[in-house]
Chain A
Amino acid sequence: MVPIAITVNGKLRKAHVEPRTLLVHFLREHLNLTGTHVGCDTSQCGACTVLVDGRSAKSCTLFAVQADGSEVTTVEGLAPEGQLHPVQQGFWEEHGLQCGYCTPGMIMSAVNLLKDNPAPSESQIREGIAGNLCRCTGYQHIVTAIQHAARHSGKAAR
């Protein structure tokens, strides 16, 4: 067991973990932040996407010890209590989800995309979420949701 200290959603979280503990399991099992999901074993599906030091990462391909000292943002920490992030709002407005399983990871990838490129084209959006698999939506409403978020992000508080 090794000690780690990770700032998750703005709060410093200290724990002793096995080195092999994947970041996603640290978030889910130790911190009860179960919004981050596991959908594959090979770093394709992106259901486990979180922000590590401000950039999107697949938390199933990262040991918690590697993130020691980092800042991690999960879907639960995206917006202040009682509010929605513009990307979350976009997903709701435009029916960007069905079963919801890929959604948190998809949203985190969209946040990363819009940070790099606040006004992406449709093809840039599709490239921006190419690391996230969705089996329900055919992606069309997800693309529309991100377009919605891009249009409304300027007005957002952040």
Chain B
Amino acid sequence: MIPVAFEYQRATSVDDAIAKLAASGGGKFIAGGHSLVPLMKLRLSEPAQLIDIARIPGLSGIRASGGRIAIGATTTHYEIAASPLLRDQCPMMAEAATEIGDPQVRNRGTIGGSIAHADPAADFPAVVLALDADIVLKGPTGARTVKASAFFRGFYDVDLGAGELITAIQFAPVKSAGYAKLRQRASHYAVVGVAAALEVSGGVIRSARVGLTGATTHAVRLTSLEAALAGKRADAVAAACAGAANDVADVNADLHASADYRKAMIPVFARRAVERALAR
């Protein structure tokens, strides 16, 4: 399959990228291209111009400062999976990265692209929700920061203005965090994926944040589950997770899983994610 013709420019800086896109008319940013290029080949996406941001200096990399970690938008899934910093301080992030696609896809695909594209079955949206991450954006009118919980708005719909680009994902690392997913057996996307980040002391979950992907039009926080987990010990996790899907409405249905089944899998993978978090 072959995409329709387009024009191509490589951006040298974030500001250059923003300017080039603004001048393009119907352009799109491309980094790893692993969400965009398949759609273009199937002619489901036909941008008139691509602005390549992959080699913009400083847009890639994983840095810690002031108790927070910033992952540059063009950092690849592989770099996240292999990062000693993340494996040590926020292992869920690395773990989720290894669940994405396959080795070649992880070598090229980027976290910024995954989050901007916001496939309802992508893995990272659940993770950044659980980490309560900030999505750092820059556009023609300047830079701004959006909470992950406000960023994902609907079916392939995110709070990303015309001409805006994700520059980084920032979060306070959580060691007691885990990601568990039911794989769609052909694509390996998430039928249901749950990320749980816990604050644990003295064997008690003091607070929890839980992100869900795959089940609804877009990734969401499971706030009632978060409340139910607070104050629980490990032995009460299963009971707390049993109601994980209670306030999840409009569950997706497709060839691979009905809404009933998906809904039933939410508590299962919520529990597995929480157990994984507690084991760390």
Contact = CB atoms under 8 A, between A and B. Distances in A.
Contacts of B37: 43, 61-63
Contacts of B1: 41
Given A57-B104, A131-B101, A42 B5 contact: no
A109 B7 CA distance: 31
B54 interface: yes
B8 A2 contact: yes
Contact of A56 (B3, B42, B107): B107
Interface size grouping (class) on chain A: 20 to 34
Contacts of A18: 5
B108 interface: yes
Contacts of A128: 103
Interface string B30-74: 100110011011100000001010100000000000000000000
B60 to A, nearest CB: 13
B14 to A, nearest CB: 18
B102 A131 contact: yes
B19 to A, nearest CB: 19
B29 interface: no
A127 to B, nearest CB: 8
Contact of A46 (B5, B40, B104): B104
A134 interface: no
Interface in A112-135: 112-113, 127-128, 130-132
Given A19-B8, A131-B101, A42 B38 contact: yes
A42 B1 CA distance: 9
A158 interface: no
B72 to A, nearest CB: 17
A37 interface: no
Contact of A41 (B38, B101, B105, B187): B38
B42 A41 contact: yes
Given A42-B42, A61-B37, A66-B33, A20 B103 contact: no
B104 A109 contact: yes
A20 B101 contact: no
A56 B103 contact: yes
B54 A19 contact: no
B150 interface: no
Contact size range, B? 20 to 34
Interface in A1-21: 2, 18-20
A66 B37 CA distance: 11
Contacts of A46: 102, 104
Contacts of A20: 2-6, 40
Contacts, number: 85
A41 B107 CA distance: 18
Given A2-B8, A41-B41, A42-B38, A62 B33 contact: yes
B269 interface: no
B258 to A, nearest CB: 24
B78 interface: yes
A44 interface: yes
A116 B106 CA distance: 13
A63 B102 contact: no
A61 B108 contact: yes
A52 B55 CA distance: 14
Contacts of B186: 44
B105 A43 contact: yes
A147 interface: no
A55 B8 contact: no
A49 interface: yes
Interface in A73-101: none
A113 B42 contact: no
Nearest to A70: B55
Contacts of B104: 43, 46, 49, 56-58, 109, 112, 131
Interface of B: 1-8, 10, 30, 33-34, 37-38, 40-42, 50, 52, 54, 78, 101-105, 107-108, 186-188
9 contacts: A2-B8, A19-B6, A41-B1, A41-B42, A43-B37, A44-B187, A57-B108, A66-B52, A113-B103
